[in-house]
């Protein structure tokens, strides 16, 4: 393995470690909103005003449709989303955020978008460099 390969491996290892450490914060953030981490994920996947078929949500979550039904039942019982028949095919159920769900989603997005302490501790110059590097990686 060349020195460049070793450096790339080390960079990837550190980036993965940072992301995994931050992912570990999700249960605490979810609890602040009295949600499970998966319920948070569902709310983040729903765009206000854009219905999503339950089947597509199941595919996105890589789970069985019956699991989505339980998740949706719990979120619907809290008044965060509604199940409606699709105008294109009444057999298909689509999910729509309620106004309450939209407000909670906005609060959740704001909370989850806050930079973690390790990023905040970087100098402004290092933060700009990090942004440039990540933008190049994501292309």
**Domain 26-114 classification at class level:** mainly alpha
Is residue 76 within 8 Å of 97, Cβ to Cβ?
Answer: no
d(CA 115, CA 55): 33
Q: Domain limits of the chain?
A: 26-114
Each residue's pLDDT tens digit, 52-80 = 999 999 999 999 888 899 999 999 999 99
pTM of the model: 0.77
Is residue 72 within 8 Å of 83, Cβ to Cβ?
Answer: yes
d(CA 81, CA 77): 8
d(CA 138, CA 92): 35
* Residue 81, H or E segment: strand 81-85
Each residue's pLDDT tens digit, 87-105 = 889 899 999 999 999 999 9
């Amino acid at each position: 393995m060349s020195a460049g390969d070793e450096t790339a491996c080390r960079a990837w290892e550190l980036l993965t470690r940072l992301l995994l450490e931050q992912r570990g914060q999700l249960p605490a953030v979810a609890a602040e909103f009295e949600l499970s981490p998966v319920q948070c994920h569902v709310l983040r996947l729903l765009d206000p005003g854009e219905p999503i078929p339950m089947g597509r949500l199941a595919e996105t979550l890589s789970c069985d449709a019956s699991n989505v039904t339980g998740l949706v039942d719990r979120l619907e019982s809290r008044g965060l989303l509604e199940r409606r028949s699709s105008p294109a095919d009444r057999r298909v159920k689509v999910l729509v955020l309620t106004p309450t769900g939209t407000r909670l989603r906005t609060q959740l997005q704001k909370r989850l978008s806050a930079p973690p302490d390790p990023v905040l501790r970087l100098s402004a110059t290092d933060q700009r460099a990090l942004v440039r590097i990540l933008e190049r990686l994501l292309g």
